[in-house]
Every structure is written in C-alpha cells, then in structure tokens.
Chains A and B, each alone.
Chain A
C-alpha cells in the first residue's frame, strides 16, 4: 500500500523529472477551432482550384452556390469547436448541444442537396476535360461517384490527421465521440468545397457519394479518437 501523504511517490517524481521541458498552455476551444479555419479552407478548396466551380453555378445563383457552402463551412467549424470542448476534461458541453449540432449538420446537407437538385437538376458532366472523358462519365456516372466519394474521403482524412495532431494529448473522456465530432466537422468542411465543383446535382450522387464520404470521414475520426484514447492506456504504465 502506498503512502497516502500528499508528497508525490519517488517513482512518480522520477518520471516527471525526466521530462520537464517547458510547454505552451493550450488555447481555448474557440481559438483552437478558429486556428483550423485556414487549413480546412485550403483543403476543401483544392478541388475548386483544380476543376473550377460547376457549370450551372449561374443558374443556382450565388446564395445557393457560395452561401450554402459558407453555411456548411461555418457549421463545420462549430462542430470542431464542440469537439474541442469534448476534448477538455472540464469543458464538456451538454449532450443535447452535441446531438443538436450533429442533427443540424445532417439536415443541412440533405436540405442543400435537395434544394440544389430542385433549382438546377444537373446530371450531365461538363468538366474542363477532353469531350471523350465527359462522354465516358455521362455513360458511367458511377465513375464520378467513386471519384467524389474517394476524393472527399481522402481530403477529410487529411483534416482528421491534422485535428488529431492538435488534440493527441488532451485526455478525452469519450475519445470515440470526440473523434467522430471532428470527423463530422472535417466531412462537412470538405463537402462545402466539393459540392461547388461537382457537376452532378442528382440526390443519388450527392447523398450517395458525398454523403458516404462524410460518413466515412466520421468513421475515420471515430477510429482515430479510439486509437488515441487506447494509446493512452499503454503510456499510463503503473508505478509502484
């Protein structure tokens, strides 16, 4: 049985003394979330820089093209802020707030998808590529589905890796939940950029490929959170 006096045990002191390099205090969750804006913006805009906005952007109008994506991006940052709170042992938000934000994210994606399809039902790819490629994509739309699904998931994975680097030492109470929240934020931020570039508005493509990419990013985030959470157990070896 250890000594219960308020003096730290020798073994603990030795472990602490081994690594006493000065560290910078962590910023508040809001500052952390805002720090991620530039990278999230950059990663989600890569596709736009590569192939430009969709050909029917004029038909959709600036509000539905850029405004809806801006709303998704803002909600994504809110979700990252909630995840940053969840990652703080003493700053967790009530479960209702977490559930509400997640439900709002799902509803926003579905609503924007349906509204986009209703306003501009584009189902023919018009990409800045040789006509033969456009024809091939028209005949086999699943290729575009795969490209959008896998491309958005990979972009989301980059953000997840960045988020996990920032929060790897935060001692999260529910690491899987926190990771999944980062995943929703990352997926939503990526979708905000990809939906402006993607030439298809059909719900099966938008919800099937882009929606699946968001779900895949959430799962990636949850797995990453779980991995980081379990990793702590190995570090926390007993001292006696």
Chain B
C-alpha cells in the first residue's frame, strides 16, 4: 500500500467519523482525477462537471458503505462510473441522448504515449480504439490503478483487464503509426 493510499484511507475514516475537513482533503486529492475520468466517460461532454458533483454527493450518501480494506481512489472512481451509468440510463429513459462535443473528446494524454506522438495524434489514436480498451488503458496508465483494482471496478478478471490495456496500447501504437504516415 502506497503512502498516498494510506493517507486517503485515514482521511476516509476521519470523514466517516464526521470530519468536514477530511472530506475537503479527499476532494482536493481525488476530484481532479475523477473529473478527467468522467470527461473520458462522457466523451468530453460538459455534463462531466455535474457528474463530478453528483459523484461526491453520492460518496457522501454511501460513505457508510466504504470499507477501509479497499483503496479509496478506486472506490471513488467506481462510484463515478456508477453515477455516469445511472445518468446515462436516466437520459435513455427520458429519450435524451448525451451529445458529445463536436471537437475531439478530452482524453487525458498517456505519459508513456507522449513519446510516440503529439497530444492531438494521441487523442485521435485513442478515439480509434474500442471504449473497453481505452478505459482499461487510461485507468492503468493514466491513473495508475493496478489490474486487480481495475478488475474490481469493471467486473472482469485481472487477466482480462491486463489484456485490454496491453491490446489497447498495441492498437494505439498502430493507430499512431497510421496517422503519422498519412500525414507524411
């Protein structure tokens, strides 16, 4: 367990005990990553900001359901995923479709991929991959979750999470190469 993990768990326990300062600290540490994740899920739609607030509101309502044996970050990311899915279900029920922005989605740029292409190329490359691959790839490479944590969030095996991320990275390389060749 990393030091950051331990600190977040301790904060979560204080928050469960009724500390508002602990909540503020958790928000400060987790919210930027969760917002980027929601932006990815919502294909860059501005609804991500609303979903971010809803995620923390739901975290507050579900705070008793948190068990200190779990790492806090994946738990909050899991909540964010649930909030997104519930919102999508509700939007479907109301027959409204979340309209993505016309420009490319605001995918976070992978630190490793940064060496093999520009930010714009990487965004275009990620847009060519399947949503499952992109999600596993970003959760592992961008937000640093282990494959076991990703498996717990997505309801798949750790091996499947690893396969999705590595196939995603391989497909991204191919997509980048194709993009660069077509430009040359």
Contact = CB atoms under 8 A, between A and B. Distances in A.
Partners in one complex: yes
A91 B152 contact: yes
A91 B78 CA distance: 9
A23 to B, nearest CB: 4
Interface of B: 13, 16-20, 23-24, 27-29, 31-32, 35, 46, 49-50, 53-54, 56-58, 60-71, 74-75, 77-79, 81-83, 85-87, 89-90, 149, 151-157, 160
Contact of A173 (B58, B78, B160): B78
A171 B153 contact: no
A62 interface: no
Contacts of B32: 4, 6
Interface SS of A by simple majority: loop
A173 B85 contact: yes
B20 A233 contact: no
A15 interface: yes
Contact of B49 (A1, A93, A172): A1
11 contacts: A6-B28, A21-B18, A22-B17, A23-B16, A90-B149, A171-B62, A232-B58, A233-B86, A233-B87, A236-B86, A238-B54
Interface residues of A, number: 51
A104 B17 CA distance: 41
Interface in A159-185: 167, 169-174
Given A12-B53, A229-B86, 7 more contacts: A20-B19, A25-B66, A89-B78, A89-B79, A90-B77, A92-B154, A173-B155
Interface in A69-103: 86-96, 98
B64 to A, nearest CB: 4
Nearest to A94: B157
Contacts of B13: 25
